[in-house]
Structure 1
Amino acid sequence: MYRGFSKSELSQQYSPSSCVDDIATFINAYVQQSKVAKNKALNNKLVLTDLNYHSHKDTLLDLYLPEHQQQNLQNKPKLQVYIHGGYWQELSKEESCFAASNFQAHNCYFAVINYSLAPNASLSEIVEQNRQALAWLYQNADYYGYDQNEIYLSGSSAGAHLAIMMLQTDWTNYIDNQYLSADGQFSFIKGICAVSGIYDLTPIAQTYINEPLQLSPLEITKNSPLLGKMTTAEINPCKVIVSYGNNETAEFKRQSQALLKKLTLLGYPVRFQEISDRNHFDVILDLANPDSWLFNEILKQMSLPLAKS
């Protein structure tokens, strides 16, 4: 078994709910806070819903507009994109817009990506859908009014994995030639915030989590940031935040620490933090809190005024 764990120990290490009394409490918080944020945006006509970024019924996103629209076309608002977690098999954009109001209040566009879930899609297909979503957002920036050169990405758990997978992406396969430089190099994601993610999928194949995923050895290697080839920061300049809650399993913490080491060796500037009094599920809710360390680190990453005095 992986790293000498027994089967039951491995399942416990990769079951985030083992650290909390009732996971439903946190899922309900996602649902309720997202409902409030979306209803507020709908009432103020500050959200565009169900924009189809590809040809599948699941490939939709919601785009939240800043509270205060600027008229200065030379200084367009920036875009923060959120990828939800749920072990690639649960949740959707509807439970994942809880941070929208906070970003809108700080003059940001905020997009939430929906994607197909296992077992209806393989992990490779899920990764591809998120790449298509990011490419669509880049190429439609002028139409919707945000800065094409100021796109940032955040994700929680499986969403953190998907966010980091974007650093293993050859965007020349997704972006129209008109945007590419003469040397063929191209990158547009300026920052990533990865919270409580899994970056080596090897142990997942040995747990109950793999039942809907059915990961093959090839798919594990292809979709594991810690195993696959990642571009250097010189080629793909991007600031990264890696974080998790202090009340998480040892394996979730170790995976983030391993990612920190790899990113640092590749030259990426990384802000790293274990956040106290947080678990795997509520740590990401800090994105909705203007006074939190996590949200203020994202503001720094985006070169925006801090919310915290």
Structure 2
Amino acid sequence: MRHRYQYGEDPSQWGELFLPGSAPGTAPRGVVVVIHGGYWRAQYGAELGAPLATDLAGQGIAAWNLEYRRAGNGGGWPGTFQDILAGIDKLAGLAGLHNLDLRKVVALGHSAGGHLAVWAAGRDRPGRPGWAGTRNDGVRLTGVVSQSGLLNLAEAERLNLSNGAVANLLGGPSSEFPERHREADPMFALPLDVPVYAVHAEEDDDVPLALSTSYVDAGRAGGVPAQLVTVPGDHYELIDPDTAAYRKCRELVLELVV
């Protein structure tokens, strides 16, 4: 079963809830927020996350496949970030309708979605956010599985990944907007108090492994240090339910929702 809900008025402010085909009244095993990638650009959408949400629902999990404004259709700074938090918070209004247990809400994010998932897990860090329109009293993520995520924005900018995708997201380079680059970078929300699995594909030519390793290394001193997990395959095998790379991600999600 799948149900679509708006969490805002913009055409891109919606999510689709995939529910297990269990008996009426049976609670799903947990809730997973699926956040798609695409270097935060408008041409990539939630269709990338739908196969993952379908697979997770088949495992008895409620999967919230989240769409959001991207750079090019009203997103960027701060809209993309506001949408991620508002989309996650929408689960509070859906919990009673669909018997969702919000004590375990895990995010599964691929590429740019991995960045947004880990960023959202640090929503209540001191000083974050520095812009209007956010809530620190919303639904909390209790764990994250990042799939070749862009977890070090400063390094992604330095490498000019995807022809300046970071500056495109944030409205300009860090030399011009240092504060927003800092607020958008998961590196500056460390240490987190929730588990993060930084899964990275060994043959990934789109997002360098260093963006995961540098994040994990920086967070080792925290109470809940992030863990690096490498898997065989390329960038896109992580979001193909038929691959070993994705199955490892699913295994980690199941571990976090039990």
- Higher helix proportion: 1
The one-letter amino acid of 1:54's match is G
Say if 2:210 is the partner of 1:241: no
- The equivalent of 1:30 in structure 2 is none
Scaled by the length of structure 2, the TM-score of the pair is: 0.82
Contact preservation (8 Å) 1:289, 1:295: no
- The equivalent of 2:217 in structure 1 is 261
Q: 2:142 aligns with which of 180, 186, 190?
A: 190
Structure 1: unaligned runs, 5 residues or longer: 1-45, 177-185, 304-309
SS in 1 for 2:90: helix
- The equivalent of 2:67 in structure 1 is 114
Say if 2:197 is the partner of 1:229: no
Contact preservation (8 Å) 2:37, 2:111: yes
Once the two structures are TM-superposed, the CA of residue 79 in structure 1 deviates from its matched residue by: 0.9
- The equivalent of 1:138 in structure 2 is 92
Once the two structures are TM-superposed, the CA of residue 195 in structure 1 deviates from its matched residue by: 1.1
Say if 2:9 is the partner of 1:55: yes
The one-letter amino acid of 1:122's match is G
Scaled by the length of structure 1, the TM-score of the pair is: 0.69
Q: Alignment RMSD, CA only?
A: 2.8
CA, structure 1 residues 245+63, in 2 after alignment: closer, same or farther (shift >3 Å)? same
Partners of 1:158 and 1:146 in 2: CA distance: 26
SS in 1 for 2:189: coil
- The equivalent of 1:98 in structure 2 is 51
Contact preservation (8 Å) 1:290, 1:296: no
Partners of 2:34 and 2:113 in 1: CA distance: 8
Q: Deviations over 1:131-151 (max 9, x none)?
A: 111111134312222112121
The one-letter amino acid of 1:275's match is V
Count of aligned positions = 240
User: Could you tell me the percent identity over the aligned residues?
Assistant: 17
SS in 2 for 1:98: helix
SS in 2 for 1:244: strand
Contact preservation (8 Å) 2:239, 2:246: no
The one-letter amino acid of 1:117's match is R
SS in 1 for 2:31: strand
- The equivalent of 2:237 in structure 1 is 282
Contact preservation (8 Å) 1:98, 1:288: no
Q: Deviations over 1:166-202 (max 9, x none)?
A: 12212995266xxxxxxxxx87311110111112223
Once the two structures are TM-superposed, the CA of residue 239 in structure 1 deviates from its matched residue by: 2.2
* Structure of greater Rg: 1
Partners of 1:301 and 1:71 in 2: CA distance: 23
Contact preservation (8 Å) 1:195, 1:243: yes
Partners of 2:238 and 2:136 in 1: CA distance: 33
- The equivalent of 2:228 in structure 1 is 272
Partners of 1:204 and 1:291 in 2: CA distance: 24
SS in 2 for 1:292: helix
Say if 2:126 is the partner of 1:156: no
CA, structure 1 residues 105+260, in 2 after alignment: closer, same or farther (shift >3 Å)? same
Q: 2:37 aligns with which of 85, 93, 117?
A: 85
Contact preservation (8 Å) 2:28, 2:100: yes
Once the two structures are TM-superposed, the CA of residue 106 in structure 1 deviates from its matched residue by: 1.5
Structure 2: unaligned runs, 5 residues or longer: none
CA, structure 1 residues 48+96, in 2 after alignment: closer, same or farther (shift >3 Å)? same
